[in-house]
Amino acid sequence: MKIALKINTEASTFEADPDMPLLWLIRDEAKLKGTKFGCGKGICGACSVHIDGELVRSCLYPAHMAHEKAVTTIEGLSKGQDRLHFVQQAWLEVQVPQCGYCQPGFMMAAADFLKRHKNPTEEDIQNSISNICRCGTYPRIIKAILLAAQTKNHESID
């Protein structure tokens, strides 16, 4: 079927099997490789994207459901070319990534989390984000989210 959707700023149409996971459409058809595959079962969060502003694990999301929706991937998280999203900025500041493979998913989850939590505690973070990082960057992820929350509150950016 023809699937028309907006990915980041670009409106595109793809011919794809309606039941194909959106993840493969994003990676293999739209050629945006920042969104990763980790488990294929909605557990690890490596494939996290935003669809119409909602956090979604794209490995379990059939492509046809994204028809006429707006998808944001890690490549589109920062709106401008010259500026990082405040979550990415915090990630860089805290030097979170090791292998880095899980990080796009974590940043997408963190950006979504911070929309709902203005002044999160460490516990809020630990209880809300269930993504997996095998390199064990969790201590820095918590630090980066706390830092991002502060920046956001101070600068009221989105």
> Is the Cβ of residue 8 or residue 37 nearer to ligand FES in the bound state?
37
**Interface with other proteins includes 154 (CB under 8 A)?**
no
Q: Residue 111: name the closest of 89, 133, 95 by CA.
A: 89
What would the two tokens of residue 142 be? 């918590």
What would the two tokens of residue 63 be? 């492509």
Instruction: Supply the minimum distance, in Å, between the C-beta of residue 28 and other proteins.
Output: 6
Q: Which of residues 119-158 bind ligand FES (CB under 6 A)?
A: 133-135, 137
**Interface with other proteins includes 36 (CB under 8 A)?**
yes
Instruction: Supply the minimum distance, in Å, between the C-beta of residue 126 and other proteins.
Output: 5
Q: DSSP secondary-structure letter at 129?
A: -
**Interface with ligand FES includes 100 (CB under 6 A)?**
yes
Instruction: Supply the minimum distance, in Å, between the C-beta of residue 150 and ligand FES.
Output: 23
Instruction: Give the 3-state secondary structure percentages of the chain, helix then strand then coil, rounded to 5.
Output: 40, 15, 40
23 in Cβ contact with 32 (< 8 Å): no
The window from 3-11, 66-74, 97-105, 149-157 that contacts ligand FES (CB under 6 A) reads: 97-105
What would the two tokens of residue 53 be? 């502003």
Q: DSSP secondary-structure letter at 66?
A: G
Binding other proteins by CB under 8 A: which of 57, 86, 97, 149?
97
Instruction: Supply the minimum distance, in Å, between the C-beta of residue 157 and other proteins.
Output: 17
90 in Cβ contact with 151 (< 8 Å): yes
Distances (CA, A) of 143 to 26, 47, 126, 149: 30, 22, 11, 10
**Interface with other proteins includes 140 (CB under 8 A)?**
yes
Q: Which of residues 22-81 bind ligand FES (CB under 6 A)?
A: 37-40, 42-47, 57, 59
